[in-house]
Chain A
Amino acid sequence: QKEVEQNSGPLSVPEGAIASLNCTYSDRGSQSFFWYRQYSGKSPELIMSIYSNGDKEDGRFTAQLNKASQYVSLLIRDSQPSDSATYLCAADVPMGNQFYFGTGTSLTVIP
């Protein structure tokens, strides 16, 4: 079992819709969770971090964490074509300074 699992997609949504990206993790010791956006040929860029159960909002982005169910999600409201990218979910490795990375979900926003 992979430590962090994501649906690889591709996920396609029309412009203006809500894109929902999901991630599950297996290590119950993980406490910190991150979403990175990676455009093709570019490096990952931090979008959101979340540490507590519940929702965290930043502009059009909302991260949701449920530690009991071991899932993290990212909602993108009013999706734009510029949101088309691969989204990587990461969870911290307990007692270390490393991440478990998911394989990424490819999102395409259709104009």
Chain B
Amino acid sequence: ETGVTQTPRHLVMGMTNKKSLKCEQHLGHNAMYWYKQSAKKPLELMFVYNFKEQTENNSVPSRFSPECPNSSHLFLHLHTLQPEDSALYLCASSQGTEGEETQYFGPGTRLLVL
């Protein structure tokens, strides 16, 4: 248990659905991250929030929309996804300060787009 939780753990959705992934961290961290991990591919950084401000959008399609209402919560809103978006979506958090970069991952949401 890393102190980072994600819900749901599994999600099946059609291409016309709208759903949201939720991440919560109980570590008092200031930075939160969304990663995508497809089968047999490396981790892909999607978004970074530091002190609730988005500091990185790694050329992610607009059908993925992040939201960070406070330092403890991070959402990823999904709409009109494609089958190739099926992957493991990982949330992570870190202190967000120099010298405290260690990232702790949540359990992930396994997403299947039909």
Q: Which residues of A approach B to under 8 Å, CB–CB?
A: 32, 34, 36, 41-46, 49, 88, 90, 92, 96-99, 101-104
Contact = CB atoms under 8 A, between A and B. Distances in A.
A42 B50 CA distance: 25
Contacts of B33: 98
Given A36-B105, A88-B43, A99-B103, 15 more contacts: A32-B101, A34-B102, A34-B103, A41-B88, A41-B110, A43-B90, A43-B105, A43-B106, A44-B43, A44-B105, A46-B102, A96-B55, A97-B55, A98-B48, A104-B42
Contacts, number: 50
Say which size band chain B's interface belongs to: 20 to 34
B43 A97 contact: no
Contacts of B2: 45
Given A34-B102, A97-B50, A42 B107 contact: yes
22 contacts: A32-B99, A32-B101, A41-B88, A43-B90, A43-B107, A44-B43, A44-B90, A45-B105, A46-B103, A49-B102, A90-B103, A97-B31, A97-B48, A97-B94, A97-B96, A97-B101, A99-B45, A99-B103, A101-B42, A102-B42, A103-B42, A104-B42
B104 interface: yes
Contacts of B107: 42-43
